Amino acid sequence: MFPELVLCEVSVRQINLQKCRAATVELGWKESDHIQLITEPYTIKSRVSLLNNTLGHSWSTRSGKPRAAIWCNNQLCPWMVERFTNEDICVIAFKMNGRTVYCAAVYLDNNLTVRLRKFVQLLEFCDSKRIPLIVGADSNAHSVLWGCEETNKRGEELEELILRFNLNVANTAGEYTFSTSRANSIIDITLVNPPTSNSFFPKNWRVLSEESFSDHKYLAFELGEFDEEIRLTRKLKGVDWQKFTEGMDAAFSSFEESDSLETDVNCFYALLYEQLDRIAPRRACKPREGSHWCTPKLSSMREELKHLLEHKRNPVMADKLRQVKRSYSSLTRKERSNSCGVSARRRKQQRRSALWCK
């Protein structure tokens, strides 16, 4: 395999999952994302679960039950910044254009102050070191600064924090980010510090209309470009090796040796790859499949859920929606359990085969 680098924008998605299994499964289908900033994730035994761990990795605190988490594609080679991570805030870092960039998911509990100690420490550190910082927060606060009709006390406290560290609010659409049958509001916000504003300000920030299976809506935006590695491979099965041999013979017939062994070796490899490209050109590898436990039956039930959610104000539809949600949650648990069982049996068979080979 040969790697090839192409420029690609970093796609970021932000969501509060409300600890919902269906919303978490739906998020796992979003395989085009590079980063997902998550608040109130679904957990099993205090560990974030059901996200797509085939294409990336989920990060959260290792002590306590997390209310903030981040999923990141492996191509960005991220690492977690543990000094600023706890139950209500998760911070990861990665390299982009030669600079270290911090991303944080923050849950600001309605019963706690918005001036979380770790959150303030993170803002102070990034401000002093001039590190670009992107924050996806469920603020549970109202302010005209991010499009609300009025400002409450929590909103005023958060405004003070924003002004103190000269943060910019990326929210531009003025659309509701939280919507139920009883209320609508804008409480999910995206914040960036001055170094981010200069180099990696979120582009095309928007509230998505697609169903999230949560009362919160998806927020999405893109950051600056990074070098995405595309894996290329040759399919050598069925290659006409006679044609390859004839091509190499013809190339060597006009080959002239030089005084340098290194030059001759480089020329040999150039001829070799030229003939290989002729009979077996390199092609991009097929991307690895994610969420392989998402069966056709689960996909069909997912579409039914989307249809019912569009008519959830209808009392009859609301009752059916609750029933389908329970069935969807139960089927998700069953299919994932079956998938894990199959994978475990396959690994056991592979180990047994390896022992026999020895």
Q: What are 56-73's pLDDT values in tens digits?
A: 899 999 888 999 999 998
Spatial CB neighbours of 172, under 8 Å, sequence gap ≥ 6 = 205
pLDDT recorded at residue 6: 44
Are 108 and 152 within 8 A, CB to CB? no
Residues 255 and 121 in one domain: no
Of the candidate ranges 103-112, 147-156, 264-273, 291-300, the one whose mean pLDDT is the lowest: 291-300
- Same domain assignment for residues 258 and 304: no
pLDDT at 2: 42
Identify the band that residue 261 occupies on the pLDDT scale cut at 50, 70 and 90.
Answer: confident
- Domain housing 310: 296-357
The answer as to whether 8 is a domain residue is yes
247 and 325 housed in the same domain:
no
Q: Quick one: what percent of the chain has pLDDT higher than 90? A: 36
Same domain membership, residue 186 and residue 38: yes
pLDDT at 221: 93
Closest-CA residue to 217 (of 260, 261, 173, 253): 173
> Is 88's pLDDT higher than 70?
yes
Query: Does 289 fall in a domain?
Result: no
Work out the percent of the chain whose per-residue pLDDT is above 70: 82
- Do 188 and 240 lie in a common domain? no
pLDDT band, very low/low/confident/very high, at 105 (cuts 50, 70, 90): very high
**Residue 102 shares a structural domain with residue 247:** no
Q: Which two tokens stand for residue 64?
A: 């306590």
Domain boundary among 195, 213, 229: 229
Question: With 70 as the cut, is the pLDDT of residue 205 above it?
Answer: yes
Question: Residue 287 domain-assigned?
Answer: no
In this predicted structure, what is the pLDDT of residue 1?
41
Residue pair 101/131 in contact (Cβ under 8 Å)? The answer is: yes
Query: With 80 as the cut, is the pLDDT of residue 311 above it?
Result: no
Residue 286 lies in a domain: no
Q: What is the mean pLDDT of residues 82-107?
A: 93
Radius of gyration for the alpha carbons in the chain, expressed in angstroms and rounded? 26
Q: Is the pLDDT of residue 3 over 50?
A: no
**Whether 22 and 168 share a structural domain:** yes
* Mean pLDDT (the chain, rounded): 82
Q: List alpha helices for 114-212, DSSP H.
A: 117-129, 153-164, 194-199
pLDDT at 257: 79
Could you tell me if residue 57 is inside a domain? yes
For residue range 289-309, what is the model confidence (pLDDT) as tens digits? 444 556 677 677 777 777 776
Average pLDDT over residues 176-204: 87
pLDDT given at position 158:
94
User: In the prediction, which pLDDT does 9 show?
Assistant: 82
Number of domains in the chain: 3
Domain for residue 203, yes or no?
Answer: yes
Report whether 12 contacts 35 (CB < 8 A).
yes
CA distance 42 to 225: 31
Q: Are residues 202 and 268 in the same domain?
A: no
Asked whether residue 217 falls in the same domain as residue 139, the answer is: yes
User: 356: pLDDT confidence band, cut at 50, 70 and 90?
Assistant: low
DSSP codes, 300-333: HHHHHHHHHHHTTTSHHHHHHHHHHHHHHHHHHH
Query: Which CATH number goes with the domain that contains 169?
Result: 3.60.10.10
Question: Are 37 and 144 in the same domain?
Answer: yes
Burial 20-29 (b: 16+ CB within 10 A, else e): bbbbbbbbbe
Q: What is the pLDDT of residue 191?
A: 94
Residues 76 and 184 in one domain: yes
One-letter amino acid for residue 185 of the chain:
S
Q: Which residue would you say has higher pLDDT here, 142 or 300?
A: 142
Establish if 256 belongs to a structural domain: yes
Q: Is residue 291 part of a domain?
A: no
Asked if residue 177 and residue 46 are part of one domain, the reply reads yes
User: For the residues 20-29, what does the mean pLDDT come to?
Assistant: 87
